[in-house]
Amino acid sequence: MKTFLLFIWAIAPVCLSAQSYDVKLIPDSLKKNARAVVREDEYILEIKSPGKAVTKERHVYTILDETADNVGGYRSLYGKFNSISSISGYLYDAGGKELKHVKKKDMEDRSYVSWENLIDDERYKEHDFYYRTYPYTVDYQEEDEFNGLMGFSAWRPLHAPGISTQHSKYVIIAPADYKVRYKPFNCSYQPVIAEVGGKKIYTWEIGNLAARSTETSGPGWSAMAPVVLIAPSDFEVEGYKGNMSTWTSYGKFIDQLRAGRDVLPEEIKKKVHELTDNLKDPRDKVYALYDFLQKNTHYVSIQLGIGGWQPFPAEYVATKRYGDCKALSNYMVALLKEAGITGKYVEIAAEQGAAPLIEDFPCSQFNHVISCVPMGKDTIWLECTSQTGSPGYMGSFTGDRKAVIIDSAGAHVVSTPSYSSSDNLESRVINASIDADGNLDANSSTYYSCLAQEMPHFLIHDVSGEQREKYLNQLFNLPTYKVDKSSYEEIKGAKPAVKEYLHVTSPGYAGVSGKRMFISPNLFDKSSIRFSPDSARRYDLVYNHASRDVDSISLTIPDGYTPESVPQDVKIDCKFGKYSASLKLMPGKITYYRIWEQNRYRYPASDYPEFVKYYEQIYKADHARVVLVKKE
């Protein structure tokens, strides 16, 4: 974790000797529901020019218990565009007495090559006092120089759930004619702006923010914590100059980085024509080239210098047969261009839970690049880092969000595909039998589509047979069971699907007591979701992915049993979703049919009692049992 806490030099220098970090000085209101307290959080950025800046930062954290030990550690990145001038760290006990002091030379220096980066020229300084007598306080200070700017850190006065803030300050010192852009979210914080000696000084400052917690089925932290986004107007990095005041100017800068990087080797050009010249439908050409990309390249992240923003040339990818998301997407666009098809380079914020794009605040808000092919009123979206995904499918990684298409005209905001409840389908048909001892033998055939097929897709392509078997034998909420046969069939497409077959045995599935047999007809899909009705809800109820689950079960039962108790049919239809379960009992057989359709929703906290009732009704219906009695 790198924390941005700085001394304000030339304005209000902090005097260390005047500071006291006795825990008794923390207001009780900041200790409530907190695992750590930010005592001081100061960050100062002085912009010398569009490409040069210096920073001073300081953070002081009091760690209240072991759940916050990670907060007390320190990590600071440096690389081609920034150098660390100095770092120091201090450790204080509960009474504020200094116990240890470290400098830059005392800290670990490591290469920042992560699991996904083959090569990265960034490094980092890392340190931890490993002090575990609570509470304790750490104080880290750092000064950096930047030679290349393309973005500024946001001001986040509340760092994370369970952490309160006693004092936080963010300062920007810029030439008077330099435009600093900012936008508050989940707050109304505005800077105090002053002009001193030809400089314009922006200061954000706040204190005594109590700790907050996220809530189950509530908004994510980024949607509830106060933050001020801050971005440059003019900027410069490695000789490239740009402006990001508008999406048009931002896009032109990114397109500038790609200029001349779409040249293909002659043998690849020939291959493109070999694959596409005899195809009439442009879609078929796109699919053929995407298949070629998947079979002949693989994803490797290489982040060197401006390579964090600039793709490697298409010729490099063709020769090496690997690249990161930027390089592979740029290569895909080049392949399409050779075939006479216009492909687009698209920047996007990937992964589930990614913060939504702020459309009216142009800046780099992205961590991923994909490509797309506009086709009249339709668009083919292409995830170029996947060797197994379907063309057109964005899924949970990049679907249902805003992105920006980059070309010579600049950039414009677009929406990636979203998926409805009927798209995200899990439809299971089970033919099963229970013997006189209550043992279950079941054949399960399941059809998964769109978001529902992502886990089966992963099981097919990304794990070993042993790992898949282990997962399947921990999947169902059964006391004891065994999946001894499994097979999968994949259906490619913009809305991909997977067909799964399982053979499952579960000894003692049905309870047998004397003459009675107790059977839960919902074999594999029992809901485990329950909420406390006593919870004091603060935030909205949020569910972002619609889905539809359908179960059709035919269950053969032993001869000689008659019903004593049969669950009533259940039907629920409310704002959160729809649910129905029905059962028929015939001689020697139980048939059970269940549909659960979840809506996407966002409702106020006042709807929480209805929300609790909805899930409780489903839980009880899913766990209902048939009671059979054996004839004398």
354 phi and psi angles, rounded to 5 deg: -60, 145
Do 99 and 89 meet the contact criterion of CB atoms below 8 Å apart?
no
Instruction: Give the N- to C-terminal CA distance of the chain in Å, as an integer.
Output: 71
- Whole-number percent of the chain with pLDDT over 90: 84
pLDDT over 50 at 386, yes or no: yes
Asked if residue 598 has pLDDT above 90, the reply is yes
CB–CB of 100/129 below 8 Å?
yes
Q: What is the pLDDT of residues 391-408, one digit of tens each?
A: 999 999 999 999 999 999
Per-residue pLDDT, 77: 80
pLDDT of residue 76: 83
**Residue 307: per-residue pLDDT:** 62
The CATH number that domain 425-630 falls under is 2.60.120.1130
Pick the CATH number of 16-240 from 3.90.550.10, 3.40.190.10, 2.60.40.3140, 3.30.70.980: 2.60.40.3140
Q: What is the pLDDT of residue 112?
A: 64
522-553 residue pLDDT tens: 999 999 999 988 778 999 999 999 999 999 99
Give the span between the Cα atoms of 139 and 7, in whole angstroms.
12
Q: Which helix (H) or strand (E) holds 40?
A: strand 36-49
The tokens for 388 are 């197994």
Look-up of token digits 């908004």? 219
What whole-number distance in Å separates Cα of residue 95 and Cα of residue 22?
A: 4
CA angle 545, 405, 449 (to 5 degrees): 30
pLDDT of residue 12: 38
Q: Rounded to an integer, what distance in angstroms lies between the CA atom of residue 94 and that of residue 73? A: 17
List CB contacts of 631: < 8 A, sequence separation 6 or more.
Answer: 560, 561, 562
Nearest-angstrom CA–CA distance, 426 and 202: 53
pLDDT of 10 > 80? The answer is no
Greater model confidence, 376 or 57: 57
Strands 368-375 and 378-382, sheet pairing: antiparallel
* Maximum C-alpha span of the chain: 101
pLDDT for 118 beyond 60: no
Q: 401: closest CA among 383, 424, 381, 418?
A: 418
Sheet holding 108-111, edge to edge: 74-78, 123-127, 108-111
pLDDT at 410 over 80: yes
Structure tokens at 282: 């442009």
Say if residue 7's pLDDT is above 80: no
Confidence of residue 210 (pLDDT cuts 50, 70, 90): very high
Beta strand segments in 133-210, E: 136-147, 163-175, 180-185, 192-196, 199-209
pLDDT at position 13: 38
Give pLDDT tens digits for 132-187: 999 999 999 999 999 888 889 999 999 999 999 999 999 999 999 999 999 999 99
- Long-range CB pairs of 29-34, under 8 A, 24+ apart, other chains included: 29/164, 29/208, 29/210, 30/164, 30/165, 30/166, 30/208, 30/210, 30/211, 31/64, 31/164, 32/210, 32/211, 33/162, 33/210, 33/211, 33/213, 34/64, 34/162, 34/163, 34/164, 34/210, 34/211
Report the distance separating Cα 397 and Cα 458, nearest Å.
13
Do residues 211 and 164 lie in contact, with contact meaning Cβ atoms separated by under 8 Å?
Answer: yes
On average, the pLDDT of the chain sits at 92
- The two three-digit tokens of residue 297, written as one number: 């390249």
Strands 547-556 and 425-434: parallel
In CATH terms, 246-415 corresponds, of 3.40.50.2300, 1.20.140.10, 1.10.8.50, 3.10.620.30, to: 3.10.620.30
pLDDT of res. 303: 61
User: Please, which pLDDT band fits residue 483 given cuts at 50, 70 and 90?
Assistant: very high
Among 328, 341, 459, smallest CA distance to 384 is for 328
pLDDT band at 17 (very low <50, low <70, confident <90, very high): very low
pLDDT attached to residue 78 = 77
Q: pLDDT category, 350, cuts 50, 70, 90? A: very high
* 353 pLDDT tier (thresholds 50, 70, 90): confident
Please list the helix, strand and coil fractions of the chain in percent, rounded to the nearest 5, in that order. Answer: 20, 40, 40
Token digits of residue 410:
């600049």
What pLDDT was estimated at residue 495? 97
Distances (CA, A) of 343 to 256, 262, 346, 395: 17, 12, 10, 20
Q: 302 or 21: whose pLDDT is higher?
A: 21
> Lowest-pLDDT range, 298-307, 330-339, 538-547?
298-307
Q: Rounded distance, CA 407 to CA 254, Å? A: 8
Q: Read off the pTM.
A: 0.90
pLDDT tens digits, residue range 488-520? 999 999 999 999 999 999 999 999 999 999 999
Domain coordinates in residue numbering, the chain: 16-240, 246-415, 425-630
The pLDDT of residue 467 is above 90: yes
| Rounded average pLDDT over 339-350 | 97
